[in-house]
Structure 1
Amino acid sequence: MKQQIIVSGLGGQGVLFLTRVIAEAAVRAGLEILTSETHGMAQRGGSVLSTIKVGSFKSPLIRRGQADAGLFLHSGNLDVHGHLMAGDGRLVVNAPEGNDFLRVDASGMARAMGAPVLANLILLGRAVAAGTLFCDRQGCEEAIRALSNPKFVEANLEGFRAGLES
């Protein structure tokens, strides 16, 4: 198993938590994992990028045109980080519309659930349901349980499951 994944969004969208969930799912599956984060402007709503490499790799960084999967929490970041995607890479984008990628209106769904912070987990659920990532439902749910604040576990799982069903 080898997969190179990018997670892109804006500060405050949960890019880093989403990265931790994916990494934890890999660890629980007994897979090698490397991650890297670029989040200098995160507190000001700036662009945030995480890279995740599952399998035997030497470096956590992903070069131009090498990402197998991309989770974009903000469609505007396609212009910023889209160059990292391989030609046959699979994109899952938080967007109400679009034809060049798999999309889900994760922000709209999260607002309808009364918890806008769940957009990242809804996007993850959509990616898992589509088979975009190496991880499965059970592995992600276990990771969410392990990493979530106890008072938010059920809400986080509800968001993830909404994405699975989208």
Structure 2
Amino acid sequence: MKYQIVIAGFGGQGVVFLVKVLAICAGNRDIPFLGTENHGMSQRGGSVSCDIKVGDFTNPVIDKNQADLMIALERNEGLRNVAFLKLDGTIVTNAKDKDTYPELPFKGFAKIDAFKKAENGEFPIQGLNVYMLGFALIHDKNFPFSIQEVKDAITQMNAKVAEQNIKILDQAMKDAEEQK
């Protein structure tokens, strides 16, 4: 298996948390995993992006046109990192309904206004990252881990908030199925 993911957001959104969850998924199956964290201004709400490579890779950095999936926790950060996605890749993005994206040539594209859902009390804003991961699980048929593997990793990552995060993940998957 070889699979590459870019997660893009800004400081405080939990980009690094998702890298750790996916690392646990890989570790639980003894699959090689490389991840990078680019978070220079993260403490001040600046850009944060992480590259994740699942499989037998030697370099953790994803080159342009190589990612299979991009999870954009915020619209502009997704657009800023879109050059890393393969043409047959999938992008899932958190964007307002009124936001328009330029025409993108990618095979898979899904958008949801996760900020609005959090503002409406559908889930706590701290769970935005997990919500977008759940959204990606449904929209990317090639995702390298099963739903159960992701849930197990969330529990291993932080058992204290696992129940809440799994509820958020389930809600996101339900919303994604309804959107299809």
In the TM superposition, residue 109 of structure 1 has moved relative to its aligned partner by 2.3
1:138 and 1:78 map into 2 onto residues whose CA distance is: 27
Q: Residue 155 in 1 paired to residue 164 in 2?
A: yes
> For residue 119 of structure 1, what is the amino acid of its counterpart?
L
| Contact 2:18 2:129 (8 Å CA) reproduced | yes
Count of matched residue positions in the alignment of Structure 1 and Structure 2: 165
Structure 1 residue ranges, 4+ long, deviating more than 4 angstroms after superposition: none
The 5 A counterparts of 1:7-18 are 7-18=7-18
Match in the other structure for 1:23:
23
C-alpha contact (below 8 Å) 2:9/2:78 kept by paired residues: no
1:109 aligns with 2:92: no
Residue segments in structure 2 that go unaligned for 5+ positions in a row: 176-180
- Quickly say closer, same or farther: Cα 1:77–1:148, change in 2 above 3 A: same
Superposed, 1:120-139 pairs within 5 Å as 120-130=129-139, 131-139=141-149
- TM-score where L is the length of structure 1: 0.93
For 2:64, what is the secondary structure of its paired residue?
A: coil
Distance across 2 between alignment mates of 1:44 and 1:132: 34
Partner of 1:35: 35
Superposed CA offset, 1:13-51 (max 9, x none) = 110101111121121122111101000100111000100
Q: SS of 1:134's equivalent?
A: coil
The within-5 A match list for 1:13-92 is 13-92=13-92
Q: Give TM-score scaled by structure 2 length.
A: 0.86
Q: Secondary structure at 1:63's aligned position in 2?
A: coil
Q: Residue 9 of structure 1 contacts residue 77 of structure 1 at CA under 8 Å; is this kept in 2?
A: yes
Maintained 8 Å contact 1:10/1:42:
yes
Instruction: State the one-letter code of the partner of 2:89.
Output: G
Asked whether the equivalents of residues 148 and 156 of structure 1 are also in contact (C-alpha less than 8 Å), the reply is no
- How much identity, in percent, do the aligned residues show? 33
Q: Say whether 1:146 aligns with 2:152.
A: no
Give the RMSD, CA atoms, in angstroms.
1.5
- Rounded to whole Å, the distance in 1 between the matches of 2:27 and 2:134 is 18
Query: Does the aligned pair in 2 maintain the 1:29–1:139 contact within 8 Å?
Result: no
